[in-house]
Amino acid sequence: MKQVIFINDQNKQDEKPVEFTHVLSSLSGWQRGVYCPSDYKKVVYLGKCSHDGDMFNVYNDKDQIIIFKGHLNSGKY
C-alpha cells in the first residue's frame, strides 16, 4: 500500500485510507466525484485549508499535476 508524501511530516493514526471527494477543473472549478488515490503515481498532501479541508497534489502517469480535496485519514492509499 502506498502512502502520501507529507510536506510538513505530520502523520495521522486513522485506519481509513485517503479519500478524494473533489477534483479541480480549470474550466468549471471544483467537481464532485469518486476518485481513487491509488490510480495515481504520486500523492502529495498539501495541508488542511480552513475553507476546503485536506488538499492534495497528485501526479498521473504522464506527470501531469492534478489538485484534489478530500480526507487525509491514515495517509495510506
**Per-residue pLDDT tens over the stretch 7-57:** 765 555 558 999 999 999 999 999 999 899 999 999 999 999 999 999 999
Q: What is the pLDDT of residue 23?
A: 98
Domain that holds residue 32: 5-71
Domain for residue 77, yes or no? no
Domain for residue 13, yes or no? yes
Domain for residue 76, yes or no? no
Domain for residue 12, yes or no? yes
Tally of structural domains, the chain: 1
Question: Are the C-beta atoms of 2 and 56 separated by less than 8 Å?
Answer: no
The C-alpha cell at 5 is 508524501
Q: What is the pLDDT of residue 9?
A: 55
Domain for residue 66, yes or no? yes
Q: What is the DSSP letter of 4?
A: P
pLDDT at 4 over 80: yes
In 3D, which of 70, 58, 54 has the Cα closest to residue 19?
70
